[in-house]
Amino acid sequence: MVDRDPVPTWTFGRTTLLGDVVHPMYSRGSNGAGQSILDARFLTGAFKRHGVNERALADYDRVRVKATADVLLMNRANLPDAILREVYTRTRDNPFRKIEDVISHDELRKISDNYKVVAGFESERLRARASYV
């Protein structure tokens, strides 16, 4: 499993890129696929707002390059496997009977919610913002 450093732009004149070709990232939690879907939805919306032209591509590039770079860099610092890492750290790989004996539901929720915020999957934010399309 590898990722690549974020690139500064995906758009060159009337040509742009989308998906894992421009934001390969660790395949945990389907984050690469999820970001690719968001790329496609945003690009569709940009075409609807601006027409099929360079302005739409520039809008797409401005928003999605930063959004996916944030996810990629967050994954390096705090992989979606953060829960597994935390349980391992606390148990030193010793057996346990219940996850609740190691980490609380509140802690699990906090780790999961933090990832959702950075990845753009937080329910409240999704409900509050205008649709990409």
pLDDT tens sequence across 45-70: 999 999 999 999 999 999 999 999 98
Count of domains for the chain: 1
Q: Examine residue 133 and state whether it is found in any structural domain, yes or no.
A: no
Distance (Å, rounded) from C-alpha 86 to C-alpha 111? 10
Q: Examine residue 3 and state whether it is found in any structural domain, yes or no.
A: no
Q: Examine residue 80 and state whether it is found in any structural domain, yes or no.
A: yes
Beta bridge partners of 12: 15
Q: Examine residue 98 and state whether it is found in any structural domain, yes or no.
A: yes
pLDDT bracket for residue 97 (50, 70, 90): very high
| Domain span including residue 124 | 11-128
Q: Examine residue 49 and state whether it is found in any structural domain, yes or no.
A: yes
